[in-house]
């Protein structure tokens, strides 16, 4: 029973296929990884799932409905959240406000409430602040709540992006190289965090990651993409032994 | 005393204009170079309704603000979903078009010679009070879900969409709020000077407000108000010729953008707590 | 009659094309709308007047000297308003403000120094119009058309055939990579601004000739904006097409009794809005998005 899948999805830029007929599937409360050399099309696939790009053909199915033509903000409201390979936080908003901003699209009050501080607004904002505080506490950003995101160390910026994605109450979380740039002790910490949020929030997670340690330890299933095409798929131990995968990786990536 | 009152009244009106730019540019990151035309719409609509139709002033205000919003919708709907540059270019064209209408529909608007004979309904109390209310509303807007989402989409539209923000709709909302507010400033203006002509509402006026917002600090409402106060009153008091005034503004802003791009206050705001702190430290000192 | 109007429209569009292309070039390399270009138009319109009246020069030397003057002014603008922003990697929003401020500054400097007197260009030509193939054409219109075609052709040659042109095109795609390729980005941008200023200077003289000299003359940059929007933002060919279309539209509308010269900006604005709804990518057909 899958929560999210793509069916023969394809996208090209100027005649060159970045993604060609790829079908993947993510189950409920599942963790599936997508790996592949740089430029293989992994992020393009995320952009297709989150609606940044429209595919040339193929479908994106989320909770049994076709969302191929839905705009990005509707997908987020529907329950697909993501993080970005190059961190994209909102400068000019504090850490806490970054979280609140992700809750705001689902807040109910209108412009009038906003202008004149009606009880409806005060109540809603108070609830959101409480939820944001809880989330900051879970992720481990409580002490940084009033700082500007730009002033945080790299690892904490990664965490904040995940926290922000969680704030929009997703069913599916797309993580684009979340462990990039982390030092080994941070990686350990990170793996534990992902396990924890996956269980606590009942999430299904689709992960793009270069660190084999993370991928092999966490994934139930792995898709390998090369030159925009699906090269292999399988359980972590199968992928590790797959000769084609090894060939694609030799000289390209060091498996760390 | 009369001069001081008049300077303060004009400054209050300027503050409302600058706040409207703060919402659209400071919070949302869009440039409206035809903002002054919404002021013209407010001034002319209300002026005509009161002088030609004898409509009561409060009703005329409501209709004028609605007119501002309606025109905002006409300009904004096709434009705002496109790249940010479009709204700047199209509003600039809108400004020209509005001035052309006002200049040419002589029988209704008085043409280039302007519309005279408006009763002086605006006084310092009304203008100042309105400015305070607008400041209050803008502050609440900034810290509401609307303001936060505006700031979010200003820094990163892609990330904003990814957390569920309807970027187009929110930009339009901010644009309409600011159009309505500016139209109201126009009403106050017309009924203070009792005379308006199309030349007052050119692009320089819009650009002046934008400059004030940047002078004060792009994300700071306090900064916008402080700079409207400084840049609005100083030249009046020092009696600069208005051309020199703008030359001096421009040079100042160029220096600020190059050497202190965050403006006077950056993103900082004056909070109630700060004022309390200030008072308590005074008391201690005494 | 129809052909006559078409001809007039095209010559008007030719000036708009020069303005629009100047605007589009900067948009291409720095990715922002350069509002200071309007200031360049104002200043060069006056500069052309000073050059022709003080030096007692004929038409061609005037336009050449003004073009150079415009080029230098635009380079100066780049130096003062954009160079430091670029070095610091400032957000686009600051380029916007900087260019708006620069445009205001130039317009108001002219107001301060020149607004008290009325100036107009000397009469360059004995006859003001001539007849060709039964069509009546103003001398300035004919010159406008010829000089625009010549300068646009030179521009296209520069952009597509010279090293500078390759550098400019490379820059319009990616600044970082271009500088990695060993191209002196500062020099290329300065050169681009020079070219843009030259175009502005030529346009400035024609505007000054066609209309009277007044400090707000530069606001005719709006024609360049509209042409760019119609043609497709940042597309040079589109800008030219949009400008010609705009010129023809204007001449046609001016001849419609209810509209006339006064209300034609309104009709054109409405047409532009409708155009944006139907074909936001412009005539040229490529939509520019903000970089993801």
DSSP secondary structure letter of residue C117: S
What whole-number distance in Å separates Cα of residue C37 and Cα of residue C33? 9
Which residues of C fall within a CB distance of 8 Å from B93?
Answer: 222, 225-226, 265, 269, 272
Give yes or no for residue C290 having a pLDDT over 50. Answer: no
Do residue C290 and residue B249 have CB atoms under 8 angstroms apart?
no
Q: Is residue C54 part of a domain?
A: yes
> How close does chain A come to B204, measured CA to CA in Å?
28
Mean local confidence (pLDDT), C43-62:
87
- By the CB < 8 Å criterion, does A51 face chain B? yes
Q: What is the pLDDT of residues B49-66, one digit of tens each?
A: 999 898 999 999 999 999
Q: Is residue C286 part of a domain?
A: no
Do the bridges between strand A221-226 and strand A31-35 make them parallel or antiparallel, or are there none, so unpaired? parallel
Task: Compute the mean pLDDT over every residue in chain B, rounded to the nearest whole number.
Answer: 88
**Residue range(s) defining the domain that contains residue C149:** 2-218
> Taking CA atoms, what residue in B is nearest to C227?
B89
DSSP 3-state of B151? helix
Q: Measure Cα distances from B273 to A53, A145, C95 in Å.
A: 46, 19, 35
- By the CB < 8 Å criterion, does A201 face chain B? no
Token pair for C143? 């010159």
Complex-level ipTM: 0.89
What whole-number distance in Å separates Cα of residue C168 and Cα of residue C3? 38
Which residues of A fall within a CB distance of 8 Å from B147?
Answer: 114
Range of lowest pLDDT (A25-34, B31-40, C89-98, C101-110)? C89-98
How would residue C289 be classed by pLDDT, with cut points 50, 70 and 90?
very low
Q: Say how many C-beta atoms besides its own lie within 10 A of residue B199's C-beta.
A: 13
Which has the closest alpha carbon to B156: A208, A165, C94, C291? C291
What whole-number distance in Å separates Cα of residue A213 and Cα of residue A254? 12
Mean local confidence (pLDDT), C152-157:
90
Range of lowest pLDDT (B179-188, C121-130, C159-168, C280-289)? C280-289
Rg for chain A (alpha carbons), in Å?
Answer: 19
Q: Is residue C267 part of a domain?
A: no
- By the CB < 8 Å criterion, does A84 face chain B? yes
Give yes or no for residue C236 having a pLDDT over 90. Answer: no
> How close does chain A come to B27, measured CA to CA in Å?
10
Which residues of B fall within a CB distance of 8 Å from C238?
Answer: none
Task: Compute the mean pLDDT over every residue in chain C, rounded to the nearest whole number.
Answer: 85
The H-assigned helical ranges of B143-241 are 145-155, 157-162, 167-193, 203-216, 221-238
Q: Is residue C259 part of a domain?
A: no
Q: Measure Cα distances from A165 to A79, A81, B158, C145, C192 in Å.
A: 10, 5, 13, 57, 43
Do residue A101 and residue B148 have CB atoms under 8 angstroms apart?
yes
Do residue B137 and residue A111 have CB atoms under 8 angstroms apart?
no
Question: Hey, which CATH number is domain A1-79+170-256, 3.40.50.2000, 3.40.50.2300, 3.40.50.300, 3.40.190.10?
Answer: 3.40.50.300
Token pair for C279? 């074909």
Give yes or no for residue C211 having a pLDDT over 90. Answer: no
Which residues of B fall within a CB distance of 8 Å from C115?
Answer: 243
Do residue B158 and residue A52 have CB atoms under 8 angstroms apart?
yes
| pLDDT given at position A250 | 61
Do residue B146 and residue A114 have CB atoms under 8 angstroms apart?
yes
Q: Which residues pair with A221 in a beta bridge?
A: A32
What whole-number distance in Å separates Cα of residue B30 and Cα of residue B151? 11
Do residue B149 and residue A105 have CB atoms under 8 angstroms apart?
yes
Which has the closest alpha carbon to B26: B257, B268, B221? B221
| pLDDT given at position A100 | 93
Q: Is residue C292 part of a domain?
A: no
Q: Measure Cα distances from A236 to A30, A211, A227, C255 in Å.
A: 14, 13, 21, 76
Which residues of B fall within a CB distance of 8 Å from C30?
Answer: none
Which has the closest alpha carbon to B58: B50, B69, B67? B50
Q: Is residue C34 part of a domain?
A: yes
DSSP 3-state of B114? coil
How would residue C141 be classed by pLDDT, with cut points 50, 70 and 90?
confident
Give yes or no for residue A246 having a pLDDT over 90. Answer: no
pTM (predicted TM-score) = 0.90
- By the CB < 8 Å criterion, does A109 face chain B? yes
How would residue A256 be classed by pLDDT, with cut points 50, 70 and 90?
very low
Q: Is residue C249 part of a domain?
A: no
Q: Which residues pair with A19 in a beta bridge?
A: A11
Q: What is the pLDDT of residues B158-211, one digit of tens each?
A: 999 999 999 999 999 999 999 999 999 999 999 999 999 998 898 888 988 998
Give yes or no for residue A251 having a pLDDT over 70. Answer: no
| pLDDT given at position B178 | 96
| pLDDT given at position B46 | 94
Q: Measure Cα distances from B240 to B8, B244, B245 in Å.
A: 17, 7, 6
Q: What is the pLDDT of residues B100-154, one digit of tens each?
A: 899 988 888 888 888 888 889 988 889 999 999 999 999 999 999 999 999 999 9
Name the residue among A52, A73, A124 with its Cβ closest to that of B165. Answer: A73
Q: Where are the domains of chain A?
A: 1-79+170-256, 90-167
Do the bridges between strand A229-234 and strand C129-132 make them parallel or antiparallel, or are there none, so unpaired? unpaired
**B-C C-beta contacts closer than 8 Å:** 135
Give yes or no for residue B82 having a pLDDT over 80. Answer: yes
User: Residues A117, A123, A128, CA angle at the centre, nearest 5°?
Assistant: 110
Subunits touching C (CB < 8 Å, at least 3 pairs)? Answer: B
Range of lowest pLDDT (A8-12, A181-185, B276-280, C224-228)? B276-280
Name the residue among B83, B97, B214 with its Cβ closest to that of C290. Answer: B83
Q: Which residue would you say has higher pLDDT here, A74 or A182? A: A74
Which residues of B fall within a CB distance of 8 Å from C228?
Answer: 89
- By the CB < 8 Å criterion, does A108 face chain B? no
Do residue B161 and residue A92 have CB atoms under 8 angstroms apart?
no
Q: Which residue would you say has higher pLDDT here, A172 or B218? A: A172
DSSP for C20-51 reads HHHHHHHHHHH-S--THHHHHHHHHHHHHHHH
Give yes or no for residue C282 having a pLDDT over 80. Answer: no
Q: How many residues does chain A have?
A: 256
Which residues of C fall within a CB distance of 8 Å from B33?
Answer: 35, 100
Q: Provide CB contacts within 8 A for C132, sequence distance 6+.
A: none
| pLDDT given at position A252 | 52
Mean local confidence (pLDDT), C234-260:
86
| pLDDT given at position B84 | 85
User: Residues B17, B18, B21, CA angle at the centre, nearest 5°?
Assistant: 95
Q: Which residue would you say has higher pLDDT here, B236 or C140? A: C140
Q: What is the dihedral of CA C60, C64, C70, C72, to 10 degrees?
A: -160
Do residue C272 and residue B93 have CB atoms under 8 angstroms apart?
yes
How would residue A126 be classed by pLDDT, with cut points 50, 70 and 90?
very high
> How close does chain A come to B151, measured CA to CA in Å?
7
Which residues of C fall within a CB distance of 8 Å from B96?
Answer: 219, 222, 265, 269
Rg for chain B (alpha carbons), in Å?
Answer: 19
Which residues of A fall within a CB distance of 8 Å from B142?
Answer: none
Q: Is residue C181 part of a domain?
A: yes
Give yes or no for residue B241 having a pLDDT over 70. Answer: no
> How close does chain C come to B108, measured CA to CA in Å?
14
Task: Compute the mean pLDDT over every residue in chain A, rounded to the nearest whole number.
Answer: 87
> How close does chain B come to A109, measured CA to CA in Å?
8
What whole-number distance in Å separates Cα of residue B120 and Cα of residue A252? 77
Chosen from B24, B261, B262, B263 to mutate, greatest number of chain C CBs within 10 A: B261
Token pair for C211? 């209309």
Do the bridges between strand A172-176 and strand A204-208 make them parallel or antiparallel, or are there none, so unpaired? parallel
Q: Is C271 exposed, middle or buried (0-12, 13-18, 19+ CB in 10 A)?
A: middle
Count up the domains in chain C and report the number: 1
């Amino acid at each position: 029973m899958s929560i999210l899948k793509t069916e023969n999805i394809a996208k090209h830029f100027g005649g060159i296929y970045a993604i060609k007929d790829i079908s993947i599937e993510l189950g409920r409360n599942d963790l599936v990884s997508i790996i592949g050399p740089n430029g293989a099309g992994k992020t393009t696939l995320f952009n297709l799932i989150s609606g940044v790009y429209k595919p040339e053909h193929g479908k994106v199915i989320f909770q049994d409905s076709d969302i191929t033509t839905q705009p990005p903000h509707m997908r987020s409201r529907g329950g697909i959240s993501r993080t970005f390979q190059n961190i994209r936080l909102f400068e000019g908003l504090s850490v806490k406000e970054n979280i609140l901003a992700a809750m705001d699209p689902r807040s109910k009050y209108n412009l009038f409430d906003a202008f004149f501080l009606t009880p409806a607004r005060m109540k809603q904002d108070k609830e959101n602040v409480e939820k944001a505080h809880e989330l900051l506490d879970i992720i481990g950003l409580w002490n940084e709540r009033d700082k500007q995101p730009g002033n945080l160390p790299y690892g904490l910026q990664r965490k904040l992006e995940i926290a922000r994605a969680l704030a929009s109450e997703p069913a599916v979380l797309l993580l684009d190289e979340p462990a990039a740039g982390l030092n080994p002790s941070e990686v350990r910490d990170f793996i534990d965090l992902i396990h924890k949020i996956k269980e606590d929030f009942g999430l299904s997670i689709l992960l793009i990651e270069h660190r084999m340690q993370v991928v092999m330890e966490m994934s139930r299933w792995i898709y390998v993409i090369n030159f925009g095409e699906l090269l292999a798929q399988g359980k972590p131990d199968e992928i590790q032994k797959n000769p084609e995968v090894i060939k694609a990786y030799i000289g390209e990536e060091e498996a760390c | 005393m009369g001069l001081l009152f008049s300077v303060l009244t004009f400054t209050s009106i300027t503050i409302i204009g600058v706040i409207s730019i703060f919402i659209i540019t400071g919070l949302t990151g869009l440039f409206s170079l035809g903002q002054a035309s919404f002021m013209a719409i407010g001034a002319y609509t209300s002026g005509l309704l009161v002088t030609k139709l004898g409509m009561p002033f409060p009703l005329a205000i409501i209709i004028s603000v609605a007119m501002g919003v309606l025109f905002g919708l006409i300009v904004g709907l096709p434009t705002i979903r496109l790249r940010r540059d479009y709204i700047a270019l199209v509003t600039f064209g809108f400004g020209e078009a509005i001035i052309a209408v006002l200049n040419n529909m002589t029988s209704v608007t008085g043409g280039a010679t302007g519309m005279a004979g408006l009763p002086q309904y605006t006084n310092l109390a009304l203008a100042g009070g309105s400015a305070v209310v607008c400041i209050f509303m803008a502050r609440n807007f900034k810290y509401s879900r609307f303001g936060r989402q505006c700031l979010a989409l200003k820094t990163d539209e892609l990330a904003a969409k990814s957390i569920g923000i309807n970027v187009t709709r929110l930009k339009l909302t901010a644009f309409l709020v600011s159009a309505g507010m500016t139209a109201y400033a126009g009403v106050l203006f017309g009924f203070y000077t009792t005379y308006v002509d199309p030349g007052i509402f050119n692009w320089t006026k819009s650009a002046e407000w934008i400059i004030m917002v940047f002078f004060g600090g792009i994300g700071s409402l306090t900064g916008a108000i402080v700079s409207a106060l400084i840049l609005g009153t100083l030249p009046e008091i020092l009696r600069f010729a208005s051309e020199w005034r703008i030359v001096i503004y421009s040079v100042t802003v160029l220096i600020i953008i190059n050497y202190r791009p965050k403006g006077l206050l950056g993103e900082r705001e004056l909070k109630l707590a700060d004022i309390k702190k200030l008072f308590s430290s005074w008391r201690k000192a005494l | 009659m129809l052909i006559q109007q078409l001809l007039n429209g095209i010559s008007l569009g030719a000036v708009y094309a020069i303005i629009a292309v100047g605007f589009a070039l900067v948009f291409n390399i720095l990715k922002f709308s350069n509002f200071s270009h309007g200031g360049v138009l104002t200043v060069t319109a006056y500069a052309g007047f000073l050059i022709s009246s003080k030096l007692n020069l004929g038409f061609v030397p005037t336009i050449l000297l003004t073009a150079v003057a415009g080029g230098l002014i635009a380079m100066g603008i780049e130096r003062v308003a954009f160079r430091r922003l670029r070095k610091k990697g400032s957000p686009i929003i600051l380029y916007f403000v900087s260019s708006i401020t620069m445009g205001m500054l130039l317009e108001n400097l002219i107001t301060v120094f020149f607004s008290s007197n009325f100036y107009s260009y000397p009469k360059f030509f004995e006859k003001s119009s001539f007849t060709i193939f039964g069509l009546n054409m103003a001398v300035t219109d004919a010159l406008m058309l010829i000089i625009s075609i010549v300068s646009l052709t030179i521009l296209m040659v520069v952009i597509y055939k010279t090293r500078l042109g390759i550098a400019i095109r490379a820059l319009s795609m990616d600044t970082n990579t271009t500088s990695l390729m060993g191209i002196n980005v500062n020099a290329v941008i300065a050169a681009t601004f020079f070219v843009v200023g030259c175009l502005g200077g030529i346009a400035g003289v024609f505007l000054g000739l066609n209309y009277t000299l007044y400090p707000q003359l530069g606001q005719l940059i709006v024609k360049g904006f509209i042409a760019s929007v119609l043609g497709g933002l940042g597309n040079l060919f589109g800008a030219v097409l949009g400008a010609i279309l705009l010129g023809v539209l204007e001449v046609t509308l001016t001849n419609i009794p209810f509209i006339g010269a006064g209300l034609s900006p309104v009709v054109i604005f409405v047409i532009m809005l409708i155009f944006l709804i139907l074909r936001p990518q412009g005539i040229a057909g490529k939509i520019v998005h903000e970089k993801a």
